[in-house]
Structure 1
Amino acid sequence: MPRTKGSKNRPKSDIASQIAEKQSVIQTLTAEVEAIQKDIEEKKANLKTKKSELKSAEKEVAKLEAKKAKADQKAAEEAKKAEAEAVLKKLLAGGMRADEILEKLK
């Protein structure tokens, strides 16, 4: 009869040690999952804080931009007024009458 292949001296599997090993793996993974969840919660709280800070900063920027636009508009109006006064003085100095100047403005 031919000889069978493979060793007959196989180590017997110790189920108790395998269970203990798997339980330690489960405990390790459970601890890692809990740590990750804790980190996620901290990051969510941090994100919420940063979003509120961003929103308030954007509001401040919008207010400042509105003030700047208003100041620019006022400066432009004053520049136009000064230019009109300069043209008016120049025309009056040139001997033009007020009636003629009003006709030109129309």
Structure 2
Amino acid sequence: MPRPKGSKNKPKTAEKTTTISTMDYTELIEEKLNEKTQISAEITSITDQLEALKAQLKDKKKTLNSIEKELTKLETRKAEEEAKAEEEAKKIQLESMLQQLLNSGMSTDEILDKLK
């Protein structure tokens, strides 16, 4: 097979390569820089909004925790009051029963025997 003649290191012609003028490069660079500054501004804006929302969330959680604590305190107080009222009702009922038994003519010894 014969060797091809001529140099293989020929410079490429302008027809084969697409060249962009320096003016196009500067325009593209300016556009990209503008996009970059806009996106940077949007990022800082979103970051600021995110920080504000985080602070707001933190405040809401603190408020929720304090309300939950107050709620549990109120529930325990309510339960204590109900227990006291129930004991008082039982005591009144027992006293009325004892009074009825005493009025019916039973002696205290007989009443104590019934309670056992």
1:47 is the counterpart of 2:36: no
When normalised by structure 2's length, the TM-score is 0.77
Larger CA deviation: 89-98 vs 13-22: 13-22
Q: Name the counterpart of 1:15.
A: 25
Deviation above 2 Å: which 4+ runs of structure 1?
Answer: none
User: Which of 90, 95, 100 is the matching residue for 1:85?
Assistant: 95
Q: What do residues 29-56 of structure 1 show as CA deviations (whole Å, max 9, x unaligned)? A: 1100000000111111111111111111
Q: How does 1:20-99 map to 2 (within 5 A)?
A: 20-99=30-109
Q: Secondary structure at the match of 2:105?
A: coil
Q: Which residue identity is paired with 1:101?
A: I
Please give the root-mean-square deviation of Cα atoms over the aligned residues, in Å.
1.6
- Identity among equivalent positions (%) equals 47
| Matched positions, count | 97
Unmatched 5+ stretches in structure 1: 1-9
Q: Compare the two structures and name the one with the higher helix fraction.
A: 1
Q: Name the counterpart of 1:6.
A: none
